[in-house]
Amino acid sequence: MPINELLIREFKRDLDATKKTLQRVPKDKWDWKPHEKSGTLGWMAGHVASLPGFVIAVSTAQELDIANPSARPPKVEKDADLVELHGKLGSQACEALAKLSDDQLNETWSLKQGDKVLMTMPRYDMLRGMCFNHLIHHRGQLTMYLRALDVPVPALYGPSADERPF
C-alpha cells in the first residue's frame, strides 16, 4: 500500500475527532482565555480549524516561507463556521495527500522565514510529525479549554469524563 494512503487513513480519523471538538466551541466565550499567557478560545479554535491548511502547504510545495503574507493562515472570525472551514480544508488536504508518491514523501521540505531556514526534513516527517501532531496537540489544548468552561469534552481516542461510548 502506498504511504500516502496510510497517511490519509490516519488523517481522516483525526479530522473526524477534531470536528467533534470544534462542534462544541461556545461562540459566546470567543474572547475567553484560561490564562493571561494563553490565546483566546477563538484563536485556539480558529487555529485548530485551519491547521489542515498546513498539510496542503507541505503536500503541494517544496517549502513554505512564513515571511510571505500569503503564507499566513487565515484569521478566523467569531462568526466563522469552524466545522465548515475545517471540513473544507480537510478535504483539500486529503486530495493533496492523495497526489503524493512515496518518492515525493521522501523529498526534503523546508520551513523558512525569509532567508532563514527554520527547519528542513523529509516531507513525510514534516506531515506526520509537524502537521498531524501539531493538530493533535492543539486539539488537546482546545479540549482543556472546553473542560475549563464546563463544556462536555467529546470522546476522542476512548471515553471522556463526559462520554462513555463503550
Residue 153 lies in a domain: no
Cα–Cα distance for residue pair 145/14, rounded to 1 Å: 19
pLDDT(103) > 80: yes
Q: What is the DSSP letter of 29?
A: G
Q: How confident is the model at residue 166 (pLDDT cuts 50, 70, 90)?
A: low
In this prediction, residue 72 carries a pLDDT of 85
Segment 1-57, tens digit of pLDDT: 999 999 999 999 999 999 999 999 999 999 999 999 999 999 999 999 999 999 999
Total of domains in the chain: 1
Cβ burial 112-124 (10 Å sphere, 16+ → b, else e): beeeeeeeeeebb
Is residue 159 domain-resident? no
**pLDDT at 74 > cutoff 90:** no
- What's the CATH number where 128 sits? 1.20.120.450
pLDDT of res. 71: 87
The answer to the question of residue 47 being in a domain is yes
Asked whether the predicted pLDDT for residue 110 surpasses 70, the reply is: yes
Identify each DSSP E strand in the chain by its residue range. Answer: 63-65, 108-113, 116-122
With 90 as the cut, is the pLDDT of residue 75 above it? no
**Residue 6 amino acid letter:** L
**113 within a domain of the structure (yes/no):** yes
**Residue ranges making up the domain that contains 128:** 3-148
Which residues does 46 contact at the CB level (< 8 Å), separation at least 6?
75, 76, 80, 82
